[in-house]
Amino acid sequence: MRRRLPGDIRAALDQHAGLLTVTAAADFGITRSRLANCARNGSLYRAASGVYAVPRELTPWQRHTLHSRAFSLANPHVYLTGWSAAATHGLPTLGRPPGKVLAVNPRSLGGSQTTRFGKVLHHRLPPEHQAHLGYNAVSIAWTVCDLATRSPLHYALAVADAAARRSLHPQGAQQHFVNWRGAGRVGWVCENADPLAESPIESLGRFAAIMGGLPLPISNAWVGPGFPLYRVDGLWPYHWAAFEADGAIKYDNRGDASRIVQKQTEREWQLRRDLGVDVLRFGYRQALDPNSLAARMHRFLECNPRRSAPIRWWKHSEGVGPVEPEPADWPSPEPREYALPRNWAQPA
């Protein structure tokens, strides 16, 4: 039976964001043996060597984030990398979290070391890509480039879009990966990162269009009856067609879900009736299967063939709103062959 956690230990945990090291506990007069006793009776558990947390219900990614922070506290000479860095940086996380925390030790070169709580790689990490944010992690740009080599490409693109949106484009680290296995994948992700994509599901939708050889949709473009009125997740201006990516977060566990759906339905009706824009909707599960989604997009555009003139649209500028697009903002209306790296659905 789990015992109640003593008040002084709980207070110490609260002051250290839910993770308490043996060293920090000593500042509160809490001994290592007391922490070990709490771990034995179930009121604490070891999240990393010498780091304790309170057992509680967490999603798999929340737990991995917690354990990543704990691993960094326990090993101050290493830097979180890969999905462990992405999670702690607040970048999108897709798929299942890795079984162990992943970090890099730049003090030694070559090989790796696996422990109960994580795996440490040994390779160079330039000082400018060593981030110290209460925990040690590789920079966001390095995180994206690293993920491009060890994750499915569409997952890496979603993270790259989020980084670019935060004005931390992965190109800032690309030069350091030219001799890595998967360097071509890194280059592809850097070239195709789009700061206008606002969510992972939008990024996955754009990836499906790319792999399907379809015209590239414009992310978060505005359309309207002579003035910008509606913003769509992806716009094919020459086809008078758009996609809307529906994340479940819009509806799950919300008391106003029915009102949201009603408003969304009315908006879509107005897009079709008032502007003549056809809309393709897809959810997160569909977006995770880019082959199937690409086929659906292909059929959708076949039903909405290219018109003689494009729809009037405006580019979205963060912090400003709709602005007139520049010539470089216009995508090609023609289908095209994109040179996707081989085995894009697998790590390099």
pLDDT in tens, 132-182: 988 999 999 999 999 999 999 999 999 999 999 999 999 999 999 999 999
CB contact at 8 A, 239 and 218 = no
Note the pLDDT of residue 254: 47
User: Which residue ranges of the chain lie beneath pLDDT 50?
Assistant: 248-254
Note the pLDDT of residue 252: 45
Cα gap 130→140, rounded to integer Å? 10
Closest CA to 84 of 72, 76, 75, 129: 72
Note the pLDDT of residue 249: 44
Q: Residue type at 145?
A: C
Cα gap 92→265, rounded to integer Å? 28
At residue 257, φ and ψ (nearest 5 deg) are -60, -40
The contacts of residue 46 (CB under 8 Å, 6+ apart) are: 39, 52
Q: Residue type at 126?
A: P
CA distances to 81, 117, 317 from 139, rounded to whole Å, are 9, 22, 25
Cα gap 202→223, rounded to integer Å? 18
Note the pLDDT of residue 258: 56
Domain boundaries, the chain: 7-53, 60-192, 200-329
Note the pLDDT of residue 255: 53
Note the pLDDT of residue 5: 92
SS (H, E, C) the chain: CCCCCCHHHHHHHHHCCCCEEHHHHHCCCCCHHHHHHHHHHCCCEEEECCEEECCCCCCHHHHHHHHHHHHHHHCCCCEECHHHHHHHCCCCCCCCCCCCEEEEECCCCCCEEECCCEEEEECCCCHHHEEECCCEEECHHHHHHHHHHHCCHHHHHHHHHHHHHCCCCCHHHHHHHCCCCCHHHHHHHHHHCCCCCCCHHHHHHHHHHHHCCCCCCEEEEEECCCCCCEEEEEEECCCCEEEEEECHHHCCCCCCHHHHHHHHHHHHHHHHHHHCCEEEEEEHHHHCCHHHHHHHHHHHHHCCCCCCCCCCEEEEECCCEEECCCHHHCCCCCCCCCCCCCCCCCCC
Cα gap 162→173, rounded to integer Å? 15
Cα gap 161→142, rounded to integer Å? 14
pLDDT in tens, 81-104: 999 999 999 999 999 999 999 999
For the question of whether the overall pTM of this predicted structure is more than 0.75, the answer is yes
Note the pLDDT of residue 250: 44
